[in-house]
Structure 1
Amino acid sequence: MNKNEIKKIAPFVKPYLGFVFLSFICAGVSSAAALAVPIFCGKAIDFMLGAGKVGFSGVLKFAYFIAATAIIAAAAQQLMAVCNNKITFGISRDMRRALFEKLHKLPLSYLDTHPSGDLLSRMISDVDTFSDGMLMGLSQLFTGIITIVGTLAVMLIYNVSITLIVAALTPLSLFTARFISKKIQRWFTAQASLRGKQTAMINEVTDGLKVICSYSHEDETLEEFDVLNEKFKKAGFRATFFSSLTNPSTRLINNIIYAVVSLAGALFAVGGGITIGQISVFLSYAGQYAKPFNEISGVITELQNAKASLVRIFELLEETEETEDSPSAQVLENTGNVCFDNVSFSYTREKPLLQNISIDVKSGQRIAIVGPTGCGKTTLINLLMRFYDVCGGKITADGKDIRNLTRKSLRKSFGMVLQDTWLKSGTVRENIAYGKPDATDEEIRKASEGAYAHSFIKRLPNGYDTRIGEGGTELSAGQKQLICIARVMLCLPPMLILDEATSSIDTRTEIKIQSAFAKMMQGRTSFIVAHRLSTIREADVILVMRGGNIIEQGTHKELLSKNGFYAMLYNSRAKNENE
């Protein structure tokens, strides 16, 4: 992990510095105890001078020391494990919260251009992978550092020459591990990216399974998944295979170090420069000295995988956020008058969409927006709600540029009913009261009656307390839309946006809904995007769009009398509806 990555993760570690310090202390105690055991063993061995020459009292004394040291080491390791778990899972929780919070701050353009499955993978799989790698890393890091430093220090006290031999051979182990880890990083990066793509595809197929089955595209979808799955398998296999070379490579070098220590110790013992007990201490320390290298190389797969996941996590955390409200932003209160002043907009520079749009909407007017698919009807609504900001010109509400208003007050002034319904997991009551959580049961019931949803809600197993799953899969498309309409009727904001609001409702119910809408729209500025003729005729002003421009505007009668594009559009639809 480089300095830049450490700097990024530092704010997440800061709240747990107490646990980090305690973990470091425990690692020191555990490592010190582990270092003391070989010394006690060596001392005990030196009491065994030969047959009939064993100092049992000395051996027993050091046996007690060894037992006590082992108990202390075990307790320290247990406490260190608790601290490391607190650090790891605390950081994982904080990261997920930061990612979820970031999701609410991202501009709609980012969400429109990135698969939701990939975002889910970053927030769940990548955080899990990082936490697994970090837990393993923390478990080895503190004890490893202290063990290496402590072992070298004690070995220096016993014999400088043998210690220098060990220190001279150590870089071979470090070089080997570093060389292999650099080579495999790209495979772990590819694996993390492919995991995100696979999650995105699974999410997409799950959402659209009915359509896939209805068009008999199961085989084609399976083939696409197999291709992606095969790439994921290859990347994972290569990453794991090459990373698995690290452990045996470092173990080989560490075994060579152990053999050299054994040979050197034997030569020194022959010359009388070291006792048999001290040789046992050196051999034990040679094994302990090599252990941290072996352990770290043994978890190199998890560490590299964690690093690749960390990159993807911070890619999302560092994405450009939606521009914040300026400190001088005003709160929108008396709403109703809306003006599009020479507005231009495009999603991409290469393809301009809206060009020089000017509309002056008076408070209480009903504005219908009609036109062929892709002409920019929904884009107008997105600009009005500031899901996107205009590229040219300005939009004003009550004479104030909406970019100088707080987004919360602007969006709270609109009630939206869209063609695509959205319901959250929870009760029917909670879904209707989503925009007004403190609503009374009576208010919820009246809103439902106004939306003609009350009758079918009563027939549900638990009425308003019936729990519905994500997206309301247990309900029909029409029932879901009626709940969404009831949600808006409960809040009754000063302005309304109805984007194909009755598209999933049968004609008979639509007639009732239209009368409910008529009551709801009284005195409220309303923007209606619709294809059905019944919602077009009653509008105060009809805007006819084509190719990103408003080519005609007026009342239904005025536009018909012009015999232009609207008349042609209206007549063709009237013919289709009659047929």
Structure 2
Amino acid sequence: MNKKSFDWKSIKRFFPYLLKYKKENIAAIFLGVIAGSTSVYMTYLIGRAVDQLIVHRVDFSTLYRIISLFIGIVLVTVISQWLIQRLGNRVAYLAVADLRKDAYQQLNQLPLRYYDQTSHGNIVSRFTNDMDNVSVAVSAIFNQLFSGLSVVLLAFVMMIRMSVVLTIVVLVSTPIIFLVSWAVANASQNNFRRQQEIVGEVSGFVTEMVGNQKIVKAFQQEEVNQTRFETINQELYIRGQKAQFSSSLTNPLSRFVDHLAYVAVGFTGAYLILSGSELVTIGVVSSFTIYSTQFSKPFIEISGITTQIQTALAGLTRTFDLLDQQAESSDEDGQELTNVQGEIRFEAVDFAYTPNRPLIEDFNFTAKPGESIAIVGKTGAGKSTLVNLLMRFYDVDKGKITIDGVDIRDLKRDNLRKHFGMVLQDTWLFDASLRENLTYGNADATDEEIYTALKKSYMYDYVMRLPQTLDTQIGQQGIKISDGQRQLLTIARTMISNPAMLILDEATSSVDTLTEKNIQSAFLEMMKGRTSFVIAHRLSTIQSADKILVMEAGHIIEQGTHEELLAAKGAYYQLHHAQFEQ
């Protein structure tokens, strides 16, 4: 990935998130001016105090007044800087919260293709590691920015008033500090960007392996996974070491240049005093040394957090990369289906997940209202792809799919999907109450509707035995349930949503044979009057289907009823014979 070393575009895009909080920014500017002014004035008081101490007769009353004023100024400075820090933290975390909200909103608008092609752990890493780094860096910069600018400007004015010659000495060193910081940051930014990408890879790998630990152990892949992890981790170590090493040079190099400036100020000031200059005194040189420190301090402190800034910039770039992903096309002007009859027609449909590798070609089929359509075939035949196209998880490349004569691309996606109920082989229940899970597709469902669905899915007795019945928490924070029970609950959830059409993808794969027969009867009751698509490998579950499609390589090679296909003694007969032979 060959990108510009320093991505100014991402910084520019983040500014609106920061500028949104006007009150906090104005307050920080005001407090920054106060903190900067008091810091500069403290230095002036130090110079006056030094001049008071080196005279032959010390005026203690004047010295006490200077010290008292100095203490008061210190308190004002400390309080101002503390308030700036509070405001900086608030703006940083609120701005990043807004960015995180926009990024999550973008996730909801991205097509399924993006999720299929991107590691889920990598996506999660952008919401956690990357954005946390941004908020920490913004807070650190915010704390230095306003008071630092004030100090630089006021210190410059005071130095000019005291000595033009000494000011020139200080000004010579400052551009060198800036150039050193810029050169190191520019050279190391690619390492920081790659470091954050590898962090995402580590997150994706660990998420995948932890979530599938049973399979890992079943296939004895612990050592293989350990080796793969160590390889990724080693690359992260190397990249991180390079990034940290190059970035760590910034602060000491900047301080070295700054210390040379101290020496130059000291020698130049001493020379002017010895030359008999009336404008330069020992107190002036003392103040000037501190002013030169204050003048360069913001640059030094920024260089000290270069690592945080560069890590944050890499995370910011990755976040905006997510926001720049092509979202699904707008469907605000789309139609809405009402009074769905359920006639579904595939007309000359072509589709490929990868260009130049077609999966479905010239696919034609019509499902009449209320028909139950079973789809069978070998793995990779295109069965689940038809579901993806029907739900518009992917759009067809050519041809069209219509429902009641309306091209589904002319419909609003939410409206289209609302009319389908899906029960998938991969079950999903989130960490919440049982009621919230069951009403996920129909928030207005009554308890009576919920209990009816639970009875039809043979989960009513189980739920009634739970400590808090429907209000029982399930998932990581609640009770654990078996895979079969999870699938029965997802079936009940689909029944509660009361859709016009159904898609059942291996919906009974995790239940025993007896329970499967009971669920089949519940399904048959639910499928009455609804156009239904049933994907199944166990042919015993689809024998009552109105029509069975046998697919191979994206084409229908046979279709008919169970009896018709057995009589034809073709592909379906062979599949049936393979499953039921003695």
Number of the residue aligned with 2:490: 484
Cα distance between partner residues in 2 of 1:312 and 1:572: 50
Return the offset for 1:37: 0.6
Q: 1:328 to 1:194 in 2, by over 3 A?
A: closer
Number of the residue aligned with 1:398: 404
Number of the residue aligned with 1:293: 299
* Alignment counterpart, residue 545 of structure 1, candidates 538, 551, 576: 551
Cα distance between partner residues in 1 of 2:466 and 2:357: 48
Cα distance between partner residues in 2 of 1:515 and 1:298: 70
Q: What aligned pairs does 1:52-131 form with structure 2 within 5 A after superposition? A: 53-131=57-135
Number of the residue aligned with 1:189: 193
Q: Partner of 1:419: helix, strand, or coil? A: coil
Q: Partner of 1:367: helix, strand, or coil? A: strand
Deviates more, 1:92-101 or 1:469-478: 469-478
Q: Which runs of 5+ in 2 are unaligned?
A: 1-5
Cα distance between partner residues in 2 of 1:33 and 1:55: 24
| Residues 344 and 401, structure 2, Cα contact 8 Å, conserved in 1 | yes
Number of the residue aligned with 1:244: 248
| Residues 423 and 472, structure 1, Cα contact 8 Å, conserved in 2 | no
* Alignment counterpart, residue 367 of structure 1, candidates 355, 370, 373: 373
Deviates more, 1:17-26 or 1:546-555: 17-26
Give yes or no for the alignment of 1:32 onto 2:47: no
| Residues 334 and 412, structure 2, Cα contact 8 Å, conserved in 1 | no
Cα distance between partner residues in 2 of 1:34 and 1:422: 59
2:107 maps to a residue whose letter is L
Number of the residue aligned with 1:563: 569
Return the offset for 1:471: 11
Q: 1:380 to 1:225 in 2, by over 3 A?
A: same
Give yes or no for the alignment of 1:384 onto 2:390: yes
1:551 maps to a residue whose letter is I
Q: C-alpha offsets along residues 140-197 of structure 1, whole Å, 9 cap, x if unaligned?
A: 2222222222211110011111111211222211111111111111111111011000
Q: C-alpha offsets along residues 515-571 of structure 1, whole Å, 9 cap, x if unaligned?
A: 111111111111111122232210111111111001111111222222221122222
Cα distance between partner residues in 1 of 2:252 and 2:379: 63
Cα distance between partner residues in 2 of 1:109 and 1:403: 17
Cα distance between partner residues in 1 of 2:479 and 2:215: 15
* Alignment counterpart, residue 168 of structure 2, candidates 164, 167, 187: 164
Return the offset for 1:45: 2.7
Number of the residue aligned with 2:48: 43
1:188 maps to a residue whose letter is F
Q: C-alpha offsets along residues 474-521 of structure 1, whole Å, 9 cap, x if unaligned?
A: 211110000000001112211011111111111101111111111111
Q: TM-score, normalised by structure 2?
A: 0.96
Q: Partner of 1:48: helix, strand, or coil? A: helix
Number of the residue aligned with 1:351: 357
Return the offset for 1:335: 3.6
Q: Partner of 2:177: helix, strand, or coil? A: helix
Number of the residue aligned with 1:220: 224
Q: 1:471 to 1:384 in 2, by over 3 A?
A: farther
Return the offset for 1:470: 5.1
Q: Partner of 1:295: helix, strand, or coil? A: helix
| Residues 336 and 416, structure 2, Cα contact 8 Å, conserved in 1 | no
Q: 1:49 to 1:417 in 2, by over 3 A?
A: closer
Q: C-alpha offsets along residues 260-315 of structure 1, whole Å, 9 cap, x if unaligned?
A: 11111112222133122212211111221222222111111111111111111111
Cα distance between partner residues in 1 of 2:267 and 2:341: 90
Q: RMSD in angstroms over aligned alpha carbons?
A: 1.6
Cα distance between partner residues in 2 of 1:43 and 1:61: 11
Q: 1:56 to 1:228 in 2, by over 3 A?
A: same
Number of the residue aligned with 2:470: 464
| Residues 325 and 405, structure 1, Cα contact 8 Å, conserved in 2 | yes
Q: TM-score, normalised by structure 1?
A: 0.96
Cα distance between partner residues in 2 of 1:203 and 1:473: 22
Give yes or no for the alignment of 1:7 onto 2:17: no
Number of the residue aligned with 2:204: 200
2:540 maps to a residue whose letter is S
Number of the residue aligned with 1:211: 215
Q: 1:206 to 1:328 in 2, by over 3 A?
A: closer
Number of the residue aligned with 2:145: 141
Q: C-alpha offsets along residues 27-59 of structure 1, whole Å, 9 cap, x if unaligned?
A: 1110110000111122233333534x1111211
| Residues 423 and 470, structure 1, Cα contact 8 Å, conserved in 2 | no
Cα distance between partner residues in 2 of 1:8 and 1:437: 38
Number of the residue aligned with 2:456: 450
Return the offset for 1:329: 3.1
| Residues 549 and 558, structure 2, Cα contact 8 Å, conserved in 1 | yes
Cα distance between partner residues in 2 of 1:269 and 1:549: 96
Number of the residue aligned with 1:515: 521
Return the offset for 1:74: 1.2
| Residues 340 and 404, structure 2, Cα contact 8 Å, conserved in 1 | yes
Number of the residue aligned with 1:153: 157
Deviates more, 1:376-385 or 1:459-468: 459-468
Return the offset for 1:573: 1.8
1:467 maps to a residue whose letter is Q
| Residues 422 and 471, structure 1, Cα contact 8 Å, conserved in 2 | no
Return the offset for 1:3: 4.5
Return the offset for 1:472: 8.8
Return the offset for 1:324: 1.6
Cα distance between partner residues in 1 of 2:141 and 2:578: 69
Number of the residue aligned with 1:323: 329
| Residues 543 and 552, structure 1, Cα contact 8 Å, conserved in 2 | yes
Q: Partner of 1:334: helix, strand, or coil? A: coil
Q: Partner of 2:147: helix, strand, or coil? A: helix
Cα distance between partner residues in 1 of 2:568 and 2:224: 50
Q: Partner of 2:480: helix, strand, or coil? A: coil
Q: Partner of 2:38: helix, strand, or coil? A: helix
* Alignment counterpart, residue 173 of structure 1, candidates 173, 177, 180: 177
| Residues 7 and 317, structure 2, Cα contact 8 Å, conserved in 1 | no
* Alignment counterpart, residue 261 of structure 1, candidates 257, 260, 265: 265
Q: C-alpha offsets along residues 110-146 of structure 1, whole Å, 9 cap, x if unaligned?
A: 0001110000001111000111111112212222222
Return the offset for 1:389: 0.4
Equivalent pairs counted in the alignment come to: 575
Number of the residue aligned with 1:474: 480
Return the offset for 1:332: 4.4
| Residues 501 and 532, structure 2, Cα contact 8 Å, conserved in 1 | yes
Number of the residue aligned with 2:277: 272
2:514 maps to a residue whose letter is R
| Residues 433 and 470, structure 2, Cα contact 8 Å, conserved in 1 | yes
* Alignment counterpart, residue 310 of structure 1, candidates 316, 322, 325: 316
Q: C-alpha offsets along residues 209-257 of structure 1, whole Å, 9 cap, x if unaligned?
A: 1111111111111111111111111111121122111111111110010
Cα distance between partner residues in 1 of 2:374 and 2:404: 20
Give yes or no for the alignment of 1:19 onto 2:19: no
| Residues 129 and 309, structure 1, Cα contact 8 Å, conserved in 2 | yes
1:401 maps to a residue whose letter is D
2:491 maps to a residue whose letter is I
Q: Percent identity?
A: 39
Q: Partner of 1:553: helix, strand, or coil? A: strand
| Residues 423 and 471, structure 1, Cα contact 8 Å, conserved in 2 | no
Cα distance between partner residues in 1 of 2:423 and 2:173: 72
Number of the residue aligned with 1:497: 503
